[in-house]
Amino acid sequence: MNMNTNDTYVGQIDLLSLVGARLERISGEECIVVPVSSNPSIYRRQTQKGQQKAELDFVMRPTSNGLNGNTHFVKANVGTANRERMGLSKEEAQQYSPILGNAKPLARREETRPPVQDDDDLPEGEFKGF
């Protein structure tokens, strides 16, 4: 299946699949804690307006097994720059690239109306004129 630029995909990502991720209760709220330093697929940066960002780099690839209609899998992606910065080989970087979830094309419901025939909008009986 080829991905079209207009295709919409839906799926789930398991955040607890990231290295060292865990559930914790913080200030009474259940939270997901993900150690940034243990996940080279997470990039920290600051926007021009000073806002902090923590972005997860991922890759979405086609899958052959297609369970539950899934056509792709989503995997954390350790970029070359981060891999080299950490001194990791490609093989070592694999431990930081877990499969996070799956995706499939969004099923759009097509409107199904019976075709309109020319006389469907006319009242029954003979037309006598105006």
pLDDT for res 67: 78
**pTM score over 0.75:** no
When pLDDT is averaged across residues 75-92 and rounded to a whole number, the result is: 88
pLDDT for res 126: 58
Picking from 94, 74, 98, the residue whose alpha carbon sits closest to that of residue 17 is 98
Residue 95 reports pLDDT greater than 80 = yes
Question: What tokens does 108 get?
Answer: 């759009």
Picking from 40, 35, 34, the residue whose alpha carbon sits closest to that of residue 87 is 40
For residue 11, how far is the Cα from the chain centroid? 5
Residue 53 reports pLDDT greater than 80 = yes
* Average pLDDT score, the chain: 83
Picking from 107, 106, 108, 102, the residue whose alpha carbon sits closest to that of residue 70 is 102
Cα separation, 21 vs 54, whole angstroms: 15
* Number of separate helices (H) and strands (E) present in the chain: 2, 8
The pLDDT tens digits for 9-38 are 999 999 999 999 999 999 999 999 999 988
**Residue 83: pLDDT band by 50, 70, 90 thresholds?**
confident
**Residue 44: pLDDT band by 50, 70, 90 thresholds?**
confident
